[in-house]
Structure 1
């Protein structure tokens, strides 16, 4: 490519090509340099979602702190100014007066900037010399990380708006279960995927990893997302685990316990528990409610043998038309011939409360 030489610029390794008559450059820009070049222009972008920015910043910092897999996809930009490519050195040079207008990826960029800001503040406020050194090394590591950037050359505002529209219109958000299927950062998701393949009962009843919902003719008992949340309820009492009840240090022990819980649970549930027309067990609310109930059993100092209470679940009538369930987060719908929960949170607590008030333990020595 023959381009006018840039007098003063910054060069990054990269490549050049064309798409629909437009010159395109790809490069890797270090996190510490994104503030110098990447900018959002309101006329070609939507308003930033601060909650999403914070979530990405947390994701980035977790990747540094815990050495997790942490990936951010390429940011797409248009260059407002001069950019050139050198075939011999394989470098993309951006004029220091040029700005890369972000057309896709502003939340990723803002998340990186917030992560850098937070870590820099931690370094500044840290009093301990040893801890300050550790944080400084993490900051240096983070600043030198790179994000892929695709640069379109010389577009007017109208074309930038069209680029934003096309990038977002053609993108398709994956289902929650598919997202979880490929997520290796969340320990609860990891445990759910492992137990779905290892626990004999979960293998028998099936865990759906592709669909967004289970219809009556789907033979699987639950979605992967439901299994993930049920495990989280069992371990932490919530689907969020804000207190970090599950850590890398206790992961194996917790997994062994949860595996045992599922064994005891499915021994007590009906053998055809995945019949959603017959039982309320196949609803996400019920399974998560059972998870929350089990958490309360395992964390009640007055209960010595939680297994005896789980065994007692065999005497619960799980059928849709059981009047016992009425008032516990929902009601029986005679037309649909199903018990319908009024809401997720209320239903989960309703199931937990129903079991707290109606379940009785079965002691091993009383079982014939």
Structure 2
């Protein structure tokens, strides 16, 4: 018999002490104990679904209404991350089949290709705080895990439902997981894709049997095979959480845009540029930065400029964010025809091209890309848009791209000067100069006879596109056209 204390066996102790030591919801987690700059933290690898269940984001407000340790949630950014995570689960499902030596599942490959694959996928570690822990974790039950050689492999720590992983850095990633699981669970229960905010680009709202099996596998890998790496700090107070959030988000150096574009192979427009445009169409390799000194111009375009031009060509946007593989694939043939015509412009891509032709300036190519989009892809295409696009392609190599073309100086001239220069008819094609908008297209060097267009491309290229409409006798955008939808 065990000796008793207060009518209870000694090894059991009091009920209060049992409640203090733990509860029945505690689960073991293997962790490495780290000391990040001297501060004890746990490094954990947790299945994605489990992490989502045992974590939360601290968005409560302080005494004076100020945020505690988080910025405002950006729903659009979270949705983009959700798309990335879903692609990662698809990739993980394919990898798991390989590891388990299971036969390939063609539907998995097809769905991933439809969403847009990439060479490699990974998610950076999430930083969290276990607020219920002592600063050194002394109140968390745990034990050392020993190898056969009597060496420490890791530690097993018991975390209960009260030991929430409060996210300090990674709230958008966690929200993205929320969107992914909402999508997967919704698809499984309704067998239909959501009308709005669907993470999968499908032409049909119905989920096929093969696709349903794919989404089921994604849920399976999220529960075990695909993990989230967590750096869990212990017992931080509010001031410490704020400081950690600040340091993680402000002390890192942002990657230069040109380098990011050079390394990124996930965006379908970026892939088109690297795999089709550069390899098969253009006689140039893109450079990292634009050459400011025109005497040193090699004729090559900067990658960031190629991306910006193609953003207008494919999407009519200023960036390539949001491009889908299906959309790019459908427009690839037309885009290649456009760039083939551009590549036929005299002196384009040759050494010293910027001195020889204004077509070497990216803003001019943006204007041409805008016209190509309007005639080939716009939802408001006119009934003769196909013929207009052919006129554009045939006319691109023949347009007057000389620096001395008086059209570039239209807004610098008086009415009499425009008449003398033979460009008075441009008036019906161009926006007026009295609406307060920026009409400064750039500067013309009278001595060098060079036209340098300005840096405000978004203001300039629509006007240049209007000039090209006039030169090619294409319809003015300021006149009402009969659209296909009108019939």
Please report the TM-score for the alignment, with normalisation by the length of structure 2.
0.60
Structure with max Cα Rg = 2
State the alpha-carbon separation in 2 of the partners of residues 231 and 331 from structure 1: 22
Change in Cα spacing, 1:78 to 1:286, as seen in structure 2 (3 Å) is same
Q: Does the CA contact (< 8 Å) of 1:231 and 1:291 recur in 2? A: yes
State the alpha-carbon separation in 1 of the partners of residues 322 and 355 from structure 2: 37
Q: Does the CA contact (< 8 Å) of 1:274 and 1:282 recur in 2? A: no
* Superimposed CA distance per residue, residues 206-238 of structure 1 (whole angstroms, 9 cap, x where no aligned partner): 5233x4x65335736433122123234444555
Q: How far is 1:200 from its partner?
A: 7.1
State the alpha-carbon separation in 1 of the partners of residues 358 and 397 from structure 2: 18
Q: Which residue of 1 aligns with 2:371?
A: 293
State the alpha-carbon separation in 2 of the partners of residues 123 and 274 from structure 1: 59
Determine which of 406, 409, 421 is the counterpart of 1:323: 406
Q: Which residue of 1 aligns with 2:244?
A: 163
User: Does residue 139 of structure 1 match 2:202?
Assistant: no
Q: Does the CA contact (< 8 Å) of 1:332 and 1:338 recur in 2? A: yes
Q: Does the CA contact (< 8 Å) of 1:312 and 1:360 recur in 2? A: no
Deviates more, 1:220-229 or 1:170-179: 220-229
Deviates more, 1:91-100 or 1:236-245: 236-245
User: Does residue 90 of structure 1 match 2:154?
Assistant: yes
Q: Which residue of 1 aligns with 2:272?
A: 191
Q: 3-state DSSP class of the match of 2:78?
A: helix
Q: 3-state DSSP class of the match of 2:27?
A: strand
Determine which of 35, 39, 46 is the counterpart of 2:71: 46
Deviates more, 1:326-335 or 1:104-113: 326-335
Q: How far is 1:239 from its partner?
A: 5.4
* Superimposed CA distance per residue, residues 265-289 of structure 1 (whole angstroms, 9 cap, x where no aligned partner): 2221435586546754344332222
Determine which of 129, 134, 139 is the counterpart of 1:78: 129
Q: Does the CA contact (< 8 Å) of 1:103 and 1:160 recur in 2? A: yes
State the alpha-carbon separation in 1 of the partners of residues 256 and 239 from structure 2: 32
State the alpha-carbon separation in 2 of the partners of residues 5 and 233 from structure 1: 62
* Superimposed CA distance per residue, residues 279-326 of structure 1 (whole angstroms, 9 cap, x where no aligned partner): 54344332222223334565632255765223323xx1342x533134
Change in Cα spacing, 1:36 to 1:234, as seen in structure 2 (3 Å) is closer
Please report the TM-score for the alignment, with normalisation by the length of structure 1.
0.77
State the alpha-carbon separation in 1 of the partners of residues 397 and 126 from structure 2: 53
Q: 3-state DSSP class of the match of 1:47?
A: coil
Q: How far is 1:91 from its partner?
A: 4.9
Determine which of 207, 211, 215 is the counterpart of 2:292: 215
- Alignment: residue pair count: 349
Determine which of 370, 384, 397 is the counterpart of 1:311: 397
RMSD across aligned positions (CA): 3.8
Q: Which residue of 1 aligns with 2:166?
A: 101
Q: Which residue of 1 aligns with 2:80?
A: 55
State the alpha-carbon separation in 2 of the partners of residues 10 and 281 from structure 1: 65
Q: Which residue of 2 aligns with 1:366?
A: none
State the alpha-carbon separation in 2 of the partners of residues 134 and 81 from structure 1: 39
Change in Cα spacing, 1:112 to 1:148, as seen in structure 2 (3 Å) is same
Deviates more, 1:179-188 or 1:241-250: 241-250
Deviates more, 1:159-168 or 1:279-288: 279-288
Q: 3-state DSSP class of the match of 2:387?
A: coil
Structure 2 unmatched runs, 5+: 1-19, 60-67, 91-110, 134-139, 147-152, 193-206, 378-384, 412-429, 431-438, 475-487
Q: 3-state DSSP class of the match of 2:306?
A: helix
Q: How far is 1:186 from its partner?
A: 0.8
Q: Does the CA contact (< 8 Å) of 2:45 and 2:227 recur in 1? A: yes
Change in Cα spacing, 1:228 to 1:35, as seen in structure 2 (3 Å) is same
Q: Which residue of 1 aligns with 2:433?
A: none
Change in Cα spacing, 1:242 to 1:48, as seen in structure 2 (3 Å) is closer
